[in-house]
Amino acid sequence: DVFDSLFEMKREGLIQSISTQNFPPSLLRSALSCGFEIQSNSIVGNLMNTHNLRSDSELGILCSEQELSRHISAPLGGGLFTDSISQSSKKKIEALFGMCCRDKSSVVSTSQKWAKYQSIKNTLHELSQKYQVSCESISLRWLLQMNEEAGDSIIVGSRLGMDLREQQGGSPYNRQSDLREVFTFALEDDDMELLGELSGQSSSQDFPPEGDHQIDFSNKALWI
């Protein structure tokens, strides 16, 4: 069993901690009930996918009870909440909806997703002008301020070195320095609430429980 091997490596001092990725509450609960110590769980979370970010969701309650931190991946929706997305085709944007924005809210049709996305993107553009920062900085700052008390962290992909445009004589690749912009300002409370309302994060809507995963950690015959 993978968990058993990982914890043996931890006992031997080969690894420091163990984290999971996109584990639903049922799977986390099964692992924890068998005595496995998990430090954090990586989840997808952004302005179009806020279910797992909510403190009153099943996963949010479990992480709070077990003192599990969350690593938030795809915080920019695969590029949906960046300034450069305007150069992308509608087909590519819709593909990102499926990969990074599988929200469990009532927004299910493509037209509804587009309407929600346009409202969020327009607001990000207005706030970027207000604070004189990029749209991605606004998106990341919202996540940071929303989760600062929970101790959650945000995972942002950042390629090293030059990109193809720079190699071909285009503008310099400054993504690392651009991302540091998020630490130079703070969103006002009204702006935090506005983004929360548009994203659905502050909605009182009830979400269905996570689907059950038929993996039995108590079956020691499967352990290595």
pLDDT at 126: 96
Taking only the tens place, the pLDDT of each residue in 75-98 is: 888 888 888 777 677 788 878 777
pTM equals: 0.74
Taking only the tens place, the pLDDT of each residue in 144-159 is: 888 776 667 888 875 5
Cβ atoms of 191 and 197 within 8 Å: the answer is no
Q: Which amino acid is at 173?
A: Y
